[in-house]
Every structure is written in structure tokens, then in C-alpha cells.
Chains A and B, each alone.
Chain A
Amino acid sequence: MTGENFKLKTRNLRKTYGSVVALADASIEMVEGEFLTLLGPSGSGKTTMLMAIAGLNDPDAGEIWIDGKQATYLPPFQRDIGMVFQNYALFPHMTIFENIAFPLKMRKMSEADIKANVGRVLETVQLSHVAERLPKELSGGQQQRIALARAFVYEPSIILMDEPLGALDKKLRDHLQLEIKHLHEQLGITVLYVTHDQEEAMVMSDRICLMNNARIEQLGTPDDLYFRPQTEFAADFLGESNMIECVVKTSTSKQISASGPDGAVFKALPNTQLNKGDVCKIMVRPECMSLLGARGKADNMVSATLNETIITGAVTKTYAQLANGQEITSTQLTTGPLGTTGKGSPIKFGWPADRTVALAAGGEAPA
């Protein structure tokens, strides 16, 4: 087999430490210019996978192809990669210029070319004025941009980023997320990004590879993962979710219908894994549920008792309870002051069938 047109391709990567499996059956493919994020909780295997791709950690089995070339056990310095570390790993004894010049020097580039290239990338990250400073004289955000510049100055096939924004405060992180995204678009680089922050993954990625328990849980676009999660873990890890236990009544290639508590019947997007009689969970995002008036109609509906309504700012959250005691949440844009409906009042929620997902029950318990 070959790498074909993929910038990066891994096949069945596996890594164990003693009896602990850190990574299993990890296969991904990335095309040129793609931004793929490995997302997952700590210990899910995402960093192990990144380290294997970087060549900093030999896998026990499987293959890695970079830009069409077999690279499974190549040392890092012979792979065509760039890496941005969590704490940037800028060389503290070298100036910013020397830091960015380092990979070019390793590639035996002429002094003049080094100067031109370093100047060019410093301009790209808008930090030309710091060339002669030492890393510790820069702010966290500036160091981050220099680390990025050092990783793409030699135009590697793929740039790996290991939680590069983890050490920054929220505001700066939001800003740099967009900056990295724009750099990615502007330079057309291929980026494999690691984070545990689902929002960051949603903002930046073309595709997200959700990992859990050393395995790939689901690989797809942010849309796919958010609106069509395939497992309870995926539904729970990204955003908030309401889940109602049901039994499948009919399962066709177009729709699933399932019966829930109190005789309610829910229609959901098709799921070929589910058959008639299976226990399943119906998942719907809080922002897809709306409050129905007494005569309101929707594809799916439940009756509940109101617990409380809270304005959190731009959105208003409604917490309610089904007859069987299960809590559900609905999130709506704040349009005006709270009504007079008090705790204990009966209310009705409704939502469309194409925002409803039926998940096989008994999968991984949400972490």
C-alpha cells in the first residue's frame, strides 16, 4: 500500500505501555490543506497518536505515511514535519531570529536565504520587530506565534500542534484561534491539531477526530459530530445534550421511530445499526427544543413540569422534568423578560425529527 495523494495517512496505529493500551486501531487520512483536530479527554490517546506521527514515540504496530512516503519508524529529523509544542519549546538561549533560523540551518540553507526566509515569516506573523529579542522577553501570545513561524518557515508537509493554546487566557486564546485559522487558510498548510477543548475544535477544524479510551470514536466534520453523533460519548462530549431512553418501533433507511416514556413516540434520523425492539437513546440538543404553546405542534413532543428558567445572557435556559423524573434542558435566545410561568407549571417541548438522533444504548458511559 502507499500513501497515495494523502499528506498524512496512518493505518492501525497501536501503542501500549506495559498492559495499558494508549492507542489502538488509529487510522486517519488527511488531504493537502486540511485542518484536522484530534479531540478528546486526557488519556484518550490523542497525544500518543501525535507523538507517533512526529516520530517522538515509536508505535508498536501500524504504519505512518507522510506525503506519500513510508515514515513509520523514521527519526523526527528525517520526517517532513513541523511541530508546535504546548509550551512552545522555543530555545531560551537563542534569539527569535536564531530560533526561526534553526531548522533552515539544519537544512544547510545559505545565510542569505535564511535571512530572507526568517524575515518573510516574521512579517507573516507580524512580529518583525522582535527578531533580536530572546523568547522570555516576549508575551505568551507572541511566543506562540514565533513557535508557529518556526514550524512553517521550512514549509513541511504537515504541521503538528500539541494543545498550543493551552497555556493562554481565554481572551487571547479566542483571538489566536482565529489567527491560526487564518494563517492556515492564507498559507495553505496542512495542520494536525490536538486539543481537549471542544469549542476550539469546532472553531478551527475542517474535520474532527474524536478520541476516547485510546480509540477513534468518530471522525467527521464539526457539523457531523454536533448534529449526527454516532455514540453517546460523542453526543455528550461536544456541546450539551438531552437523552431520553426509548425502544425502537421501526427502523428504515429514511427514519427511525421509537417509543419513549408515557407513550410518547419520537421520530429520528436513520441509524442502520438499530433494529426493531432495540433499546436506544433519543438525543436532541437543548437549542433545538422549543417551548410549545398549548396548541403547538412539532415532529417530536414531550410534556414536562417546569423547574426553573434562567437568563444567562444571550440565551435563556429552561430546566424541566419529565413525568419519570428525568431532567431536560432547553436553550433559547433571550428575546424578552421572563414570563410569569412559575415552578411546577406544566409545559410542552417540541423539536423537528431531523434534529433528533437515535443512539444505540449501552455504549460507553459518558465520561
Chain B
Amino acid sequence: MSGSLKPALKSRIWRFWPLYPAALFLGFFFLYPSVLLLSISFVDGEGALSAVHYKHLFASATYVKVLLITLKIAGWTTVFAILAGYPVAYLLATVKSSTRNSLIIWVLMPFWTSFLVRTFAWIVLLGRKGAINQWLEALGFVDRPVAMIFNFTGVMIGMVHALMPLCILTMLSVMENIDRNLTKAASTLGARGGPAFWRVYFPLSVPGIAAGGMLVFITALGFFITPALLGGARDTMIVQVIIFQIQEVLNWGFAGAVAMLLFVSVVAIFVLYDRLLGLSTLSGQSEQGSGGRSGLVARIGKVLGGLFIELMATLTEWMGRLWDTIFPRRADVARTSFARGGAWVTALLVIAFLALPALFIIPVSFTEAGFLSWPPKGFSTKWYESVIGSGIWFNAALRSFVVAIMSAFFGMCIGVPAAFFLARQNFFGKGAVFAFLVSPIIIPNIIIAVALFYLYSRLGLTGTTIGLVFGHTILAIPYVVITIMAVIKNYDIRLDQAAWTLGANKIKTLWLVTFPLIRAGMIAAFMFAFIISFDELTIALFVTGGEVTTLPKQMWDDALLRVSPALAAVATLLLLFMSAFILLSEFIRRRSAS
């Protein structure tokens, strides 16, 4: 009996081998230290079980206030990202695919531009003597500079700018699947443009708004770069408290408690979202017309949503009628659609907001002055000379490059087999496995960073390059898994089957048929992982140390002291490098795709 069971069990265990590297790696470097970090929050100084850190957390008004500020900032960022991003996503979803491809590059631009570069650009633009204040004064709109930075406004601008592309892409993935004939059908059935949009298109795009909003919100909760550099003392966010507790006070237990608070908030939002719409909508596969979830929250949402739609439809109906009264239609004369023109203008303005600011970093890097100012004074390359001449910057850049290459490579080695298995096999608990593999991009980076710091301090990996590589590999895996899974889903498995019938074994098939066909997707996944690592700051902030530093870490350290023209020069070089990198990868991708 047992003799016949054993081989079956063995083959069952072997069946799952592609998942093992990913599971083991994430289990040891991500799950284990995270659980460890969260659990020390329940332990007091003597090692006994206690709620002392939580008492401390909720006892003082300071931390509750920080939590509220964090929620406020994340909330408003979400609102603005949706409001400004929706017209862009709508336009992208409704133009020809060739127009979309050229527009989407500009939307993705900030996505690819380093976080820090973008933040510096806003300092150049929004500062007291920044470009915008100079223009406003020159045009006579204001007498004295408007405070747009080191306050809530600065944080909002910076964060909306940083997170809107994510929101747009998520909404776009839902909108792309909305049948364009539906709005046409509504108009043949007698609905004007406005009501047709609100009654038909908008309700179908709601899952996209919800998914985009949720992703923006939870990402915003874990932000600290933008509030630290663009905000004032009153705009401190929760992650900054964790950093302070670890780096200045060395209070692990309390930092763990704050991390737990952040973790619980993120999980709570996920649960709420799942209750309302179901997590499956996240992947863009909105269950159109599934009727949504039942349950009290969902039902209240539905009633309120219905009222809102009714209101907007009626409003736009009357606006349309009014417009037709002022400018009567003629059946024999063609009339261009003003609504469409309006959508274009709005979307292009938003795209300009997304794409242009980073460019302001370039002129100020050539200034002769010793500080950042607008307009830049004279022309000098001295800042470039000082940057290129300094060993610190060169070493940091080299390390960033090496770490990014290695992280992307490990991420591919671990992520690709898992992605193949997840995309092609059906098994019990598949959803849970997928959720686990992509959870590193959902869990705020700060938790991973602090947890790794805790683990590394015991293993002696702190301040080592390989420690940093492992840290970045954690983040690379989810991107690789998602990208490769998307590619494989569009891959016709009958091609593999054909190769098998023609005499190729599985490995040869993979090598000679599958990989060449999904090469573009593989390249994209690698590039994605590379850029994630190259631009990563949070983990680097904790696991690097002393001589071992990366480019973002070095920029951050410098920026905390002073945002100087030298930093602008570094940012410009980085911008140049990233653009070249993106163009090259796009070139390779297009060539291998055709």
C-alpha cells in the first residue's frame, strides 16, 4: 500500500519544483524577517510578552497625529491622482492604438525617471526662488513668492506626480476592455454624449478607478522621500517615524509596532476592497456586469453610486441641451465635437504635468552659482567636473549598476520558472501562491527594509553588496512574475505541443521555440527588474553602510544636507542614462517583436 503511494507522493512533490526557488528565497529573506520584525513589537525590553510598545504608540497624541496625517496625505493623493488621471486613461483607451503607443511613453516617463530626480525637479520648480515663482512675479501675478514647497502643497504635487502613472495604467487596463460599441449603442438608442458616458461608460470603468485608487493609496501610505524633501515639519508621514526609531533611537520594538500599524492598515484596505469589488478586478479582468458583491457596504456603495450617476447624467443632459439651444445643430452641416476636444486638452495638460518637470533639472545643473536658482546663472560645467572627478559618485554609480544587473538576473532565475508554472498549471491554492509571490510590492518597502536590516544584523550581511542584491531580488521577483505571466497567457501553447510532436524534448522546445517567441517579454521583465533595483532607496537606506553605497542612497544623503547644483548634475546624468536605457530596451523589444 505504502509502496504504491510513495511514487505518487514523490511525483506530486516534484510537480511543484518551479515554485520552490521563489518560495524558499522569499520565505527566508522576506517572510521570515517580516514576521520576526512584527513579532518583536509584542515583546518588551526584558523579552517578555507585552503590549508596551502599542500603549506607547497610542498614548501620545504625536503618533496618532502622524497616522492621521499619513491617511490624509494618502487620501488626497488618491483623489487627485484619480481626478487628473481619469481623462488621460479615457483618452488612451479611446484613441487609435498607434496614437496610444506614442502618448503612453509620455505617461510612463515619470515612471522611469528616478524618484529622486523628480523630487529635485520639483524643488527647482516650486522653491521660493524657483521657476514658477519667478514667472509669477515676472508676469505680475504676485508680489512675493508663494509658498509651494516645504508644506502640504509641495507634498501633494510631488506625490500626485509620482503616483498618477500607476493610477492611469491601472484604470487603462480596465478601460481597454470596455467595448467601444457600448457608448455608440447608447447614442443610437437616444442618449446624448454626456448621459451615454455617465450611464454606460463610467459605471463600467469604476472597477478601474477602485483598483487604481487602492494601489495609489497603499503605495502612498509607505512614502517618505517626497514628504521628507518637499514637505514641512507638519507633513511627517508614518514611515519617517519608523526610520527615526531605527536609525536614531534604535528602538526595534517600537519601530516594529509602527510597522505593524502600517501593515494592518494596508491589509485592512485590501480586505475592504475585496469586500466591495473582489480582488480579481485588480488584474484588469473586471467582471463586467457581475453585479458586484452583495453585503451591506457594497449595497450602500451601489445606491450612492447610482444617485451620483443619475445626477451627473441629468446635469450633462441639460448642459447638452443648453449648448444646442445656444448653438443649434443643423442636419446638413457637420459639427466637430467640443467634448472630445476638451478631453484632449485636459489629457495633454496632465501629460505635460507628468512629463515636463524632470527636464528642469538639466539647465540648473549648468549654473555658475553655488546654489540652485532660477534662471541658472551663466554656463559652467564645473558641477559635472566635480561629480565625475569624485570617487564617491563613481563608486556609487558602479555599485548601483552591478547590484541592479545581479538582482535582475537572480529575479529572472527565480521568477521565470514560477511564472511559467502559475500561468500554465491549475492547482489548489494557486491564488494564495500568486499573492505571496507578488506581496513584496504590496507590503510597504519600509517593512521589508527594516526586517532585512534586522535579519542581516544577525547574519553579518549588513553593508555588503550581496546583502543588497538579495534585498533587491525580493522586489524584482514580483515584477518578473507579473510580466512573464502576462506574456505566457498570450502565448499559444499549441506551438510547444507542435514542437513535441516534431521530436523536440521539453528543454529543447523551451530553448528553440518558447524563449525566442517570448524574448520581448523576457527583456521587458529584465529591464523592469533592473530599473526597480537601480532606483531603489528604502532597502539601500538600511542594508548599506559606510563605503558600500548606491546612487540613490548617495543622492538622498546629499539631498538631506543641501540640494546643490552638483546634485542636479548627478540627476541630469541619471536622466540621460535612464533615457538611453529605456530607448535601447524599447529598440531591442521592437526589433525582437517584429
Contact = CB atoms under 8 A, between A and B. Distances in A.
A159 B211 CA distance: 39
Contacts of B192: 75, 77
A141 interface: no
B561 interface: no
Contacts of B334: 58, 73
Contacts of A81: 188
Contacts of B187: 55-56, 75-77
Interface string A133-150: 011100000000000001
Interface string B197-217: 001100110000000000000
B27 to A, nearest CB: 40
B190 A103 contact: yes
Given A54-B188, A150-B189, A70 B289 contact: no
Interface stretch (B145-153, B324-332, B381-389): B324-332
Given A73-B331, A93-B203, A87 B179 contact: yes
B179 to A, nearest CB: 6
B332 A72 contact: yes
Interface in B145-198: 179, 181-182, 184-193, 195-196
Contact of B184 (A56, A72, A79): A56
Nearest to B182: A89
Given A70-B332, A71-B331, A77 B190 contact: yes
A91 B182 contact: yes
Interface residues on B, range: 20 to 34
Interface in A310-359: none
Contacts of A102: 186, 189, 191, 199
B190 A134 contact: no
A136 B187 CA distance: 22
Nearest to A56: B184
B3 interface: no
Contact of A106 (B179, B190, B332, B333): B190
B208 to A, nearest CB: 13
Interface in A86-136: 86-87, 89, 91-94, 102-103, 106-107, 134-136
A56 B203 CA distance: 22
B185 A85 contact: yes
Interface string A43-76: 0000000000011101000010000011111111
Contacts of A54: 184, 188
Nearest to B206: A93
Contacts of B329: 73-75, 78
A346 to B, nearest CB: 48
Nearest to A79: B188
Contact of A77 (B179, B188, B199): B188
B185 A134 contact: no
Interface in B326-353: 329-335
A8 to B, nearest CB: 14
B291 interface: yes
B306 to A, nearest CB: 11
B283 interface: no
Contacts of B330: 73
Contacts of B188: 54-56, 76-77, 79, 81-83, 160
Contact of A69 (B182, B185, B200, B331): B331
B288 A73 contact: no
Nearest to A107: B190
Interface string A219-260: 000000000000000000000000000000000000000000
A107 B192 CA distance: 11
A254 B196 CA distance: 58
A85 B335 CA distance: 25
A154 interface: yes
A87 B204 contact: no
Interface of A: 54-56, 58, 63, 69-79, 81-83, 85-87, 89, 91-94, 102-103, 106-107, 134-136, 150-151, 154, 160
14 contacts: A54-B184, A70-B332, A71-B331, A73-B331, A73-B333, A75-B193, A76-B187, A77-B190, A77-B196, A85-B181, A89-B184, A93-B289, A102-B186, A102-B199
Interface of B: 179, 181-182, 184-193, 195-196, 199-200, 203-204, 288-291, 329-335
Given A73-B332, A94-B289, 7 more contacts: A55-B188, A74-B329, A83-B185, A86-B181, A93-B203, A102-B186, A151-B189
Question: A-B pairs with the 9 shortest C-beta distances?
Answer: A92-B289, A106-B190, A89-B185, A103-B189, A83-B188, A92-B288, A89-B181, A76-B187, A70-B331
